[in-house]
Amino acid sequence: MNTYSSKLLEEAVNELSKLPGIGRKSALRLALHLLKRNSMEVEFFGNSIIQMRNNIKHCTKCYNISDTDICEICASKKRNSSIICVVEDIRDVMAIENTSQFTGLYHVLGGIISPMDGIGPQDLHIDPLIERVKNDDTNEVIMALSTTIEGDTTNFYIYKKLKDLNIEITTIARGVSIGDELEYADEITLGRSILNRTPYSTKL
Amino acid sequence: MNTYSSKLLEEAVNELSKLPGIGRKSALRLALHLLKRNSMEVEFFGNSIIQMRNNIKHCTKCYNISDTDICEICASKKRNSSIICVVEDIRDVMAIENTSQFTGLYHVLGGIISPMDGIGPQDLHIDPLIERVKNDDTNEVIMALSTTIEGDTTNFYIYKKLKDLNIEITTIARGVSIGDELEYADEITLGRSILNRTPYSTKL
């Protein structure tokens, strides 16, 4: 498309445009922005990304991203190790941690079962989850996956593997979002939220 | 906002979120994408940006970005060196080159006069333009700046400096965009396009 006046610029634009959601026009804008920053800043920028890729670890227990072999959450004495919350990726760990409502441990699957994208159970950290539940002192597994068909499929697959292990298996509540007007909630969500109604409480 | 489970991840997200138009959520998404790519690819990514910043040059004649002291356009024997097209930044050079309608040389100002952003004439490559026009064999200077107040101010400033030098000074045509319906064109553009009407031609 473009005739770049510099091979160095062209290469940087090529690389930047490989990022998800960044087209060639945005990539050029980012490259020109980086050119205006001072040399040390840009070196720090590039190196921080390389360092991250080369030195980051995944917790050997829960597969969360970590700088150590066992992540801070798994290593903490303050967390309730009898509850494991199963999530898709580390962004979900962050989102749940931000609520400050959960004090158990996590298990990061690294994705969800999605035949369309060629992702099967063997591509996810499901077997280590089963081992963990079998060997550790687990009372409850909370399934906290997306409320999509893929999420439901993954829930069901894991449920089948865990159901004979004498532990409680729960899923996160599905219902009308807080702050939403009822008339705009979709029918399936609204229907489910009536079926799964909870005792009235003045606490929340 | 977030509690990152890894300092390395946090640092990379910090750096990525310094890019224009990239917030912390997008930065995290980019960082996780980079983590999934293989190590060599990510090193190439980071280094291509560092290389660009450290090794790129600006053409000493027209201030276009270049890998050499004189850019390919200025060095080319095929270009008409008697016409200089004045543009704001190198993206404009690319845009005009893509039209294949211009065979002269460029002069990249590096911005436009914008008191709001604290950019005055002394921050732009205006003096070197005047020197170039005085010393080289220039017949025409085409002002190809944005059709904004800042662009008009810059046009006028440069016009005043060039007007006694016995060269032709032109600006790019302003009018209704090709493919636009007349009723949606703004009044100022439409008014100007009637005043500056051109002889009918079947060529375009």
Tens-place pLDDT, residues A90-99: 889 988 888 8
pLDDT above 70 covers a percentage of chain A that reads 97
Mean pLDDT, to the nearest integer, of A2-9?
A: 81
Mean pLDDT, to the nearest integer, of A167-177?
A: 86
- Predicted confidence (pLDDT) at residue A200 exceeds the cutoff of 80: no
Higher pLDDT, A103 or A189: A103
- Predicted confidence (pLDDT) at residue A174 exceeds the cutoff of 60: yes
Alpha helices in B56-103 (DSSP H): 72-75, 90-99
DSSP β-bridge partners for residue B170: B142
**Domains detected in chain B:** 7-55 (1.10.8.420), 71-172 (3.40.1360.10)
- The CA distance from A146 to A89, in Å, is 11
Chain B, 66-105: which have a CB under 8 Å from a chain A CB?
66-67, 71-73, 89-91, 93-94, 97-98
Identify which of A6, A30, A39 has the shortest CB distance to residue B54.
A39
DSSP β-bridge partners for residue B104: B80
Closest CA to B89 of A14, A28, A43, A42: A28
Predicted interface score ipTM higher than 0.90: no
- The CA distance from A35 to A15, in Å, is 15
Contact A53 B67 (CB under 8 A): no
- Predicted confidence (pLDDT) at residue A1 exceeds the cutoff of 70: no
Tens digit of each residue's pLDDT, chain B (204 residues): 447 888 999 999 999 999 999 999 999 999 999 998 999 999 999 999 999 999 999 999 999 999 899 999 999 999 999 999 999 988 899 888 888 889 999 999 999 999 998 999 999 999 999 999 998 889 999 999 988 889 989 999 999 999 899 899 998 888 878 777 877 778 888 888 788 777 776 665
- The pLDDT, as a whole number, for residue B196 is 79
Identify which of A7, A14, A66 has the shortest CB distance to residue B6.
A66
Contact B65 A6 (CB under 8 A): yes
Q: Which chain B residues touch A20 with a CB distance below 8 Å?
A: 29-30, 33
Q: Which chain A residues touch B106 with a CB distance below 8 Å?
A: none
Spatial neighbors of A81 by CB under 8 A, at least 6 apart, are A104, A105, A136, A137, A138
Cβ pair B28, A65 in contact under 8 A = no
Higher pLDDT, B203 or A81: A81
pLDDT in tens, A161-171: 998 998 999 98
Quote the minimal CA–CA distance from A165 to chain B in Å: 30
- By the 10 Å C-beta count (0-12 exposed, 13-18 middle, 19+ buried), B155 is classed as buried
Identify which of B15, B45, B93 has the shortest CB distance to residue A5.
B93
Contact A19 B30 (CB under 8 A): yes
- Average pLDDT for chain A: 89
- The pLDDT, as a whole number, for residue B1 is 40
Contact A35 B50 (CB under 8 A): no
Contact B94 A4 (CB under 8 A): yes
Closest CA to B131 of B97, B96, B84: B84
- The CA distance from A135 to A113, in Å, is 24
Identify which of A39, A56, A94 has the shortest CB distance to residue B53.
A39
Closest CA to A106 of A57, A150, A61: A61
Judged by a CB distance cut-off of 8 A, whether residue B188 touches chain A is: no
Cβ pair B203, B175 in contact under 8 A = no
Chain B, 21-50: which have a CB under 8 Å from a chain A CB?
21, 26, 28-35, 37, 39, 42-50
Contact A29 B50 (CB under 8 A): no
- Predicted confidence (pLDDT) at residue A194 exceeds the cutoff of 50: yes
- The CA distance from A180 to A178, in Å, is 6
Distances (CA, A) of B175 to A2, B96, B179, B190, B204: 25, 17, 12, 7, 15
Cβ pair B132, B107 in contact under 8 A = yes
- The pLDDT, as a whole number, for residue A202 is 65
pLDDT above 90 covers a percentage of chain A that reads 63
Q: Which chain B residues touch A111 with a CB distance below 8 Å?
A: none
